[in-house]
Structure 1
């Protein structure tokens, strides 16, 4: 027996207003990181206020590479590496002490900040939800929760995980930048082995969109987007390229894109679904980055996904089990 559960997905709001209409009733809100732009306390306050206004029974949040005050080593490193001598009182006023940003989430009822690992919930609608979360992304820079691409990172995603929440994309799926692919191959391999129902992320703003990926069987010994995806059975639900005007577009294509964007604006979100019978055969990937990269699209629509979840054996609630590998 399953329970249809509605999940709102957003990411990369960077402390800005995301103007999601409250009439969109959902069971769970998920924010995939980059809650702020400069990791200042006022940005966290603003984002938490907006998340609370969504009025969902459960809101799950992870950090992104911009949220460095949530990453103690990164916070300490930035203070030490500052070129000018910093006034400790000014730092405290703008960014807080070590741990201050995290305490804001701990002190906000209804909002659950997820550390890396597996988390399990009994939802208010009677569904059981298993989530794996990780804020880590590959980078040569000095942001929060980052690792060098040549060293990799271990993503220990359990079998039967319903939703994977990461800040960055897996290699090969909605991860293209002007410099090439930016996704993590270790993350892709972990996803391909676990085959969750839904993987949501952000980070690469220009790759906003959703794809329903069909998996090849058996899983390759070293999974990659070349060896593990059945592209003929996979479908693209929507991408920024489907709504962004291009100089090569025909007049008919331009009209189609304008109509599609107007539909998104009128509806207030983009829709997708995860059917229970697809478990293990398909994964829905959603890049939910909201902040746009052009003046034409300053803010992308959020995603609402209907997902069939198993019935909880313990009744409704928001009990959490946390296992960190």
Structure 2
């Protein structure tokens, strides 16, 4: 009989090499950065984010690229470098100063001190993909929206790490449109990693309407509850500012897949 072992996770994304990113000062089993380590994929930006990740107390740290980390996508980077030389007369020396030599960013992320083993005895099967539907043509790890992209997530996967979002899961844009990927949601729904799903198998055409048991998860906060709006009263704005400040200062909220916990996430 396989025993269930509790494991704690800290999730980061889109830090864009900003200085002063707050991370909680607690020990976790796994820290995950879901991409956009940098803003412009410059070598010093990778170093800034790696310094942030080193400050996290976790024996296992998993990192994937995002569309801003285009120097990790070799064909895209080579195309950008060729355009910079041909159109803007940027010298190879200046390119190396800002972005490093080909492969330098890869070597930074594969340094031996970035490899860890989970020490609590838990087995964790992870699928990871940096690919997202294209917004602009010259970003990294992108595919054209509507084109077929294979997310080969198998049924033994516990955790799916992606830079883009499955359609219907935290993917509302500023224009209130769904920006996530239908193919990614379908692949996740077929694999069914840890969360609560409806029924014993996915629908023929899986969607967030038909396949997720949304009522079984606790909502910690939403953008509507922490972002002040023009229509808000002064009292409401102050309340939102207090909640946002509290979340920033705390850096995290605890939740888990255990039904007896205060904020179960399923």
TM-score normalised per structure 2: 0.86
Q: Structure 1 residues 189, 216: closer, same or farther in 2, change over 3 A?
A: same
- Asked if 1:139 corresponds to 2:141, the answer is no
Q: Give, in angstroms, the shift of residue 78 of structure 1.
A: 1.0
2:147 aligns to what?
A: 151
Name the SS for the 1:14 alignment partner.
coil
Q: Which runs of 5+ in 1 are unaligned?
A: 113-121, 199-212, 285-325
2:89 aligns to what?
A: 85
Measured in 2, the distance between the counterparts of 1:132 and 1:216 equals 23
Higher strand proportion: 1
Q: Give, in angstroms, the shift of residue 193 of structure 1.
A: 1.0
2:102 aligns to what?
A: 98
Q: Give, in angstroms, the shift of residue 225 of structure 1.
A: 2.1
1:181 aligns to what?
A: 178
Q: Give, in angstroms, the shift of residue 159 of structure 1.
A: 0.9
1:182-218, Cα deviation, whole Å (9 max, x unpaired): 11110000111111116xxxxxxxxxxxxxx643554
Measured in 1, the distance between the counterparts of 2:9 and 2:63 equals 13
- Asked if 1:190 corresponds to 2:192, the answer is no
2:114 aligns to what?
A: 110
1:319 aligns to what?
A: none
After TM superposition, the structure 1 = structure 2 runs for residues 11-22 of structure 1, keeping only pairs within 5 Å, are 11-21=13-23
Q: Give, in angstroms, the shift of residue 46 of structure 1.
A: 1.0
Q: Which has the higher contact order (CA 8 A, sep 6+)?
A: 1
**What is the root-mean-square deviation in Å for CA atoms of aligned residues?**
2.5
1:296 aligns to what?
A: none
Measured in 2, the distance between the counterparts of 1:12 and 1:139 equals 17
2:246 aligns to what?
A: 263
1:288 aligns to what?
A: none
2:71 aligns to what?
A: 69
Q: Structure 1 residues 18, 240: closer, same or farther in 2, change over 3 A?
A: farther
Q: Give, in angstroms, the shift of residue 276 of structure 1.
A: 8.3
Name the SS for the 2:256 alignment partner.
strand
Tell me the matched-pair count: 257
Measured in 2, the distance between the counterparts of 1:185 and 1:283 equals 22
Q: Which runs of 5+ in 2 are unaligned?
A: none
Q: Give, in angstroms, the shift of residue 181 of structure 1.
A: 1.9
After TM superposition, the structure 1 = structure 2 runs for residues 154-165 of structure 1, keeping only pairs within 5 Å, are 154-165=150-161
Instruction: Please identify runs of 4+ aligned residues in structure 1 that moved more than 6 A.
Output: none
Measured in 2, the distance between the counterparts of 1:215 and 1:97 equals 49
2:119 aligns to what?
A: 124
Q: Structure 1 residues 261, 140: closer, same or farther in 2, change over 3 A?
A: closer
